[in-house]
């Protein structure tokens, strides 16, 4: 069973109002207000200009026109000197406007020092999203950045991307050969408004993408020592911690006696 004091559970629920009232902290990475700000990026596109449309910060945003002759996609942005340590923040947010009359694809790749030492596709984080027409946003949780793809995670290097040793961050828009545009503004790190006195747990596999500001709980999270929460009596099996989109079965969520594949606790599972 998952042991947590009933007093804490009650407080967690009763603090829901406080969560919504807390103002998130923000650290602006790029607001695209002047040509100087573009120098932070290596940009591949058929056209780059600062525009008044799609602005969510300041007075300008960056519009990229797709290059149908682009090697990988319509437009790309490579953060020339990405911030190395993201660990003080919970999430990286990117405001986007799709001015086209159809959805466009966006892709993100993130690498760290371990990826530098073994720079394969499967050792970096690869994430794809579809942007419908109009305003949208990409949300990149700082923790739980798996390597590879959602269906094939951490198969070579077994640990998630280390948020204290980031070496690569790229954005890509549109498919190869596609025509179109995208508008970008207000790339920023934010920290959850969750009060420090509230616990919020995100259950999933050890390499899951974690809800910003929440504490990850996997089958490796064990109770005891300095850990004030965790599994007791042996963790559930790894198969019970797979990433199912469907709700867990009653057996999965109450597998207290399942000791068949107890795993050692991971360092971040005891926070």
Nearer of residues 38 and 248 to Ca ion, judged by Cβ: 38
Choose which of 22, 50, 51, 57 interacts with Ca ion (CB under 5 A): 57
- Residue 14 CB, shortest distance to Ca ion, in Å, is 39
Nearer of residues 187 and 210 to Ca ion, judged by Cβ: 187
- Residue 212 CB, shortest distance to Ca ion, in Å, is 22
- Residue 96 CB, shortest distance to Ca ion, in Å, is 12
DSSP string, 226-248: TBSSEE-SSPPPGGGGS--SSPP
Which residue is associated with the tokens 């959850």? 192
Nearer of residues 32 and 169 to Ca ion, judged by Cβ: 32
- Residue 33 CB, shortest distance to Ca ion, in Å, is 5
Neighbour count for residue 220 (Cβ, 10 Å): 23
Could you tell me which residues come within 8 angstroms of residue 112 by beta carbon, excluding any fewer than 6 positions away? 161, 162, 163, 165, 166, 167, 168
Contact 181, 66 (CB under 8 A): yes
- Residue 268 CB, shortest distance to Ca ion, in Å, is 34
Q: Where in 154-193 is the site for Ca ion (CB under 5 A)?
A: 185
Count residues near Ca ion (CB under 5 A): 5
Q: Where in 71-90 is the site for Ca ion (CB under 5 A)?
A: none
User: What tokens appear for 106 in the block?
Assistant: 């966006």
- Residue 185 CB, shortest distance to Ca ion, in Å, is 4
Contact 160, 207 (CB under 8 A): yes
Stretch that binds Ca ion, among 26-34, 66-74, 138-146, 150-158 (CB under 5 A): 26-34
Choose which of 4, 19, 40, 58 interacts with Ca ion (CB under 5 A): 58
Nearer of residues 79 and 229 to Ca ion, judged by Cβ: 79
Could you tell me which residues come within 8 angstroms of residue 125 by beta carbon, excluding any fewer than 6 positions away? 108, 109, 110, 111, 145, 146, 147, 148, 161
Distance, in Å, from the CA atom of 2 to the CA atom of 223, rounded to the nearest integer, reads 8
Nearer of residues 52 and 226 to Ca ion, judged by Cβ: 52
31 binds Ca ion (CB under 5 A): yes
Q: Where in 98-137 is the site for Ca ion (CB under 5 A)?
A: none
Q: Which helix (H) or strand (E) holds 36?
A: helix 35-38
Q: Which of 232, 240, 230, 220 is nearest to 256 (CA)?
A: 232
Nearer of residues 57 and 237 to Ca ion, judged by Cβ: 57
Contact 122, 175 (CB under 8 A): no
- Contacting residues toward Ca ion, per CB under 5 A: 31-32, 57-58, 185
């Amino acid at each position: 069973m998952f042991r947590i004091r009933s007093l804490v559970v009650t407080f967690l629920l009763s603090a829901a109002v406080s969560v919504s009232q807390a103002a998130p902290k923000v650290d602006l990475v790029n607001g695209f207000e002047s040509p100087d700000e573009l120098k932070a990026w290596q940009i591949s596109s058929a056209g780059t200009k600062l525009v008044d449309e799609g602005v969510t910060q300041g007075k300008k945003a960056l519009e990229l026109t797709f290059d149908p002759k682009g090697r990988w996609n319509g437009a790309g942005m490579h953060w020339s000197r990405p911030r190395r340590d993201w660990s003080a923040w919970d999430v990286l947010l990117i405001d986007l406007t799709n001015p086209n009359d159809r959805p466009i694809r966006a892709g993100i790749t993130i690498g760290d020092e371990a990826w530098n030492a073994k720079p394969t596709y499967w050792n970096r984080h690869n994430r794809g999203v579809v942007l419908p027409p109009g305003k949208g946003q990409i949300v990149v949780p700082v923790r739980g950045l798996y390597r590879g793809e959602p269906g094939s995670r951490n198969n070579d290097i077994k640990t998630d991307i280390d948020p204290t040793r980031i070496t690569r961050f790229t954005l890509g828009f549109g498919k190869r050969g596609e025509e179109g545009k995208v508008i970008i503004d207000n790339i920023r790190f934010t920290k959850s408004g969750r009060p420090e006195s509230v616990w919020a747990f995100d259950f999933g596999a050890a390499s899951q993408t974690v809800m910003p500001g929440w504490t990850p709980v996997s089958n490796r999270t064990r109770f005891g020592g300095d850990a004030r929460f965790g599994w007791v009596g042996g963790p559930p099996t790894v198969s019970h911690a797979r990433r199912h989109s469907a709700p867990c079965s009653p057996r999965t969520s109450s597998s207290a006696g399942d000791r068949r594949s107890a795993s050692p606790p991971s360092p971040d599972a005891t926070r």
